[in-house]
Amino acid sequence: MDARQILTGAFPEGAGELVRYAEILGTRGIEWGLMGPREGDKIWQRHIANSLSLVDAIGQGVDVADVGSGAGLPGLPIAIVRPDLRVTLIEPLLRRSTFLTEAVDELGLGDRVTVLRSRAEDCRERFDVVVCRAVAPLEKLLGWTTRLFLPSGALVALKGESAEEEIRSAGKRLTADKLSAEVLELRAAPGVDPTRAIRVTAR
């Protein structure tokens, strides 16, 4: 089975919207320059699998922000398969936020997914969970996002192999802000590649 079959089987309620979103990424996402042309073959195996690996790290019914959402990763796949969540996609660039607004509309998610054109550090809202992928090293992310999730929420940043090194590099900041960080080993479903994330919470 390929990643598309595995993931649509693992998340049957969201399967139709996941397929539609993958089509949007593979067509308009590439045409608008949000995805590299060579990424077209890796949409399920890399981008959607990676995003859905966060699903079990998010509690029921909470407010989630995806910081630096780009073309909607990881926020849109998460929103599709978790109808209990309210999700805000935070993205400063006009072309990307326009892409996101159109995608949210086409996927019928407008009642609980919001696009906010902003830099994370300028955002004044608070969330239970902040997620992100491929936006900045942990130390910089903390500077941008702690106000968004403290005192009682969490940052869950997809990081792959660099997780421990980023925690070490951010050590002083974590101590100064009284934060603890742990590495999570995650997988969207058996049969797709595992990945890792850093979860940061107040001590």
Nearest residue to ligand SAM, by Cβ distance, number only: 70
Q: Which of 11, 99, 144, 149 binds ligand SAM (CB under 6 A)?
A: 144
Q: Which of 64, 76, 89, 90 binds ligand SAM (CB under 6 A)?
A: 90
Judge whether 135 and 128 are in contact, CB under 8 Å: no
Torsion, Cα 134 187 101 35, to 10 degrees, reads 50
Q: Which is nearer to ligand SAM, 1 or 94 (CB)?
A: 94
Task: Decide: helix, strand or coil at residue 124.
Answer: coil
Residues 97-126 that bind ligand SAM (CB under 6 A): 119-121
Q: Is 133 in the site for ligand SAM (CB under 6 A)?
A: yes
Can you spell out the DSSP letters for 130-191?
Answer: EEEESSS-HHHHHHHHHHHHTTT-EEEEE-GGGHHHHHHHTHHHHHHTTEEEEEEEE-SSTT
Residue type, 96: R
Stretch that binds ligand SAM, among 18-26, 79-87, 88-96, 193-201 (CB under 6 A): 88-96
Least distance in Å: CB of 71 to ligand SAM? 6
Which residues would be at the binding site for ligand SAM (CB under 6 A)?
67-71, 73, 90-93, 96, 119-121, 133-135, 144
